[in-house]
Structure 1
């Protein structure tokens, strides 16, 4: 199967419709539950900066950004990523780390090289090189899994980067990909990495190709997919261009800002380029709209939105503003003489994640 689209929403629409047509005939029952599978898929995203879904159902910029920064940090710690995606706890063998975490595999550890830096140096030395590849799924992963059942192995096998006509193209090979939960996150993270490497090389961002062995949709997500499709086609929105400079010194500052926000501290964002400062502000929006946030923090959301230098993220911020938990008043609210239970959500949308 080969599908091509200009934006992530256009691509998801095509993927989901194709998977729904295969229901029944393409069903398998692996360890994680019944799903409909397309075996052997190649997806082409023509504009990798159109990586953010604009739908109500899939505009998951906060979890996508959090997961990407987890990768960039080189961390395998569960508490970091669980702050953004609670379900990661299901994939930890020791309740502290994630065995298949991409960060150490991409950016190195005591036992592994910095593969991202090696790719950059390879393409700097020879822009037409075909050796600029990263391997995330290793042979020893499967061997270790046979000895001790691992809860998480990398779904991504390789990433390859090539420069052609002054553009950096990326091709990612996945052994397995959950089309509803995983695919939007993977495309976000890998196209962001593609743009980081392009900026490191001083070239433009080319096309993004995503090849998958088993592209599947779980039966438990079918209704969510139908709801997504019912929204119709979305506005075509692109993230701004990353600044045309060496990004890595700024990335280190963004990671420090992320750590501070996650710990409830206030980072200094004035020294960050507007592109990166806006992403750090999104982290603040997420912090101040989480369950248990103080009323004083919730009231900061409008101010943060006003500080953004682009309206690209307005839809995502507005959704968090609607979902921000309301404080429970000490006395009942009165409406037309009747007491209302302040603990009830204002609408069915209030508890939606």
Structure 2
């Protein structure tokens, strides 16, 4: 099956409709599900990687998972800060065996992202720019989590970088939005590293499935109707690696509670906004830091992100903090 759409929301609408109409359910260890096999999803606008639907706008967890990958980490504490359900996927309560980070951005032969960038720089027409995430050793003994993604491939044609992902299995409700976000961000990173425009994104899945526990949520999503098409701002067209290194350093500091001042960082506003999004997540996660929410929100440059921040603030029911001048008027010291 081939499904071609402009945005992530267009893809989700199409896929949910097809899956919910299917009659047969399959029973597995993680629950019953409906499935389509052999599906190629074609996203024409890779920057339209975020859902605009209420309840599907996973900006914070998507960005958190991306930084986990690019930091080369398999640490459970790191990713469960953003996605607590990852705790169920750990064999030892400390790490995630199937984590993409060490396979994608590790050392030596596992520095695969850096390796494909170098290959593309040396020979732009190559068909060897392939990252392997699923490994033969992954099925030698049982693990709670093994990679669902088999390969990532990058091909430059007509001056644009297209990306092709191959997956053995994909949960369309929880996994797909995160996967498309992370992989298209990586596509844009690679494109900028090799001074190339971003092309289109294609995502092949052997088993694309929707669990029964999410049927009602998928129906609610479809009932929400048409979503406004919005793309993330383009990444600054320059070598992104120095800026990425600063972003990853800031992410770690924010996550452990250290102070970060985005305004003084030697970064383009694109990257500063991502730092502010990470800050906003922390400030809304911990009640003792809620007073910093409004000031962070006001500094966000991109209106694309503000929608998600305002929704999270509303969900957390954070009461706006009065300005110091208002406290003086009220007689509060």
Q: How does 1:234-273 map to 2 (within 5 A)?
A: 234-269=227-262, 270=264, 271-273=266-268
CA contact (8 A) 1:73 1:103 kept: yes
Equivalent position SS for 2:173: coil
Match status 1:281 vs 2:273:
no
Kindly indicate whether residue 184 of structure 2 is the aligned counterpart of residue 191 of structure 1: yes
Structure 1 distance, partners of 2:291, 2:302, is 21
Normalising by structure 2, what TM-score?
A: 0.93
Whole-angstrom distance in 2 between the partners of 1:301 and 1:166 = 42
Per-residue CA deviation, residues 72-109 of structure 1 (Å, 9 max, x unaligned), is 00000000000000000000000000000000000124
Aligned to 1:34, the other structure's residue is in SS state strand
How many Å separate the matches in 2 of 1:216 and 1:320? 28
Name the CA distance, whole Å, in 1 between partners of 2:313 and 2:137.
Answer: 45
Contact 1:120 1:200 in 2 (8 A): yes
Q: Is the 8 A contact 1:289 1:323 kept in 2?
A: no
Deviates more, 1:306-315 or 1:43-52: 306-315
Matched, 1:47 2:42: no
Match of 2:97 in 1: 99
Runs of 4+ in 1 over 4 A off after TM superposition: none
Deviations 1:172-215 (A, max 9, x none): 00000000000000000000000000000000000000000000
Which TM-score applies when normalising by structure 1? 0.88
1:298 aligns with 2:293: no
Which residue matches 1:334?
Answer: none
Query: How far off is 1:140 after superposition?
Result: 1.1
More helix as a share of residues: 2
Is the 1:287–1:293 Cα contact (8 Å) retained in structure 2? Answer: no
Which residue among 315, 324, 327 is the counterpart of 1:323?
Answer: 315
Alpha-carbon distance, 1:324 to partner = 2.1
CA distance, structure 2, for counterparts of residue 326 and residue 107 of structure 1: 37
The equivalent residue for 1:135 is: 132
Gapped regions of structure 2 (runs ≥ 5): 320-333
Q: Deviations over 1:206-250 (max 9, x none)?
A: 000000000000000001111111111111001011011111111
Indicate the residue corresponding to 1:117 in structure 2: 114
- Does 2:148 correspond to 1:155? yes
The aligned runs of 1:73-88 (5 Å cut-off) are 73-88=71-86
Alpha-carbon offset, residue 325 of structure 1: 5.1
Q: How far, CA to CA, are the matches of 1:3 and 1:238 in structure 2?
A: 20
Partner in structure 2 of residue 221 of structure 1: 214
In structure 1, distance between residues paired with 2:52 and 2:292: 23
5+ residue gaps, structure 1: 328-353
Aligned to 1:29: 27
Structure 2 match to 1:6: 6
Partner of 2:167: 174
Question: In structure 2, what is the Cα distance between the partners aligned to 1:222 and 1:84?
Answer: 24
Within 2, Cα distance between the matches of 1:136 and 1:223?
A: 32
Please give the secondary structure, in 1, of the residue aligned with 2:170. Answer: strand
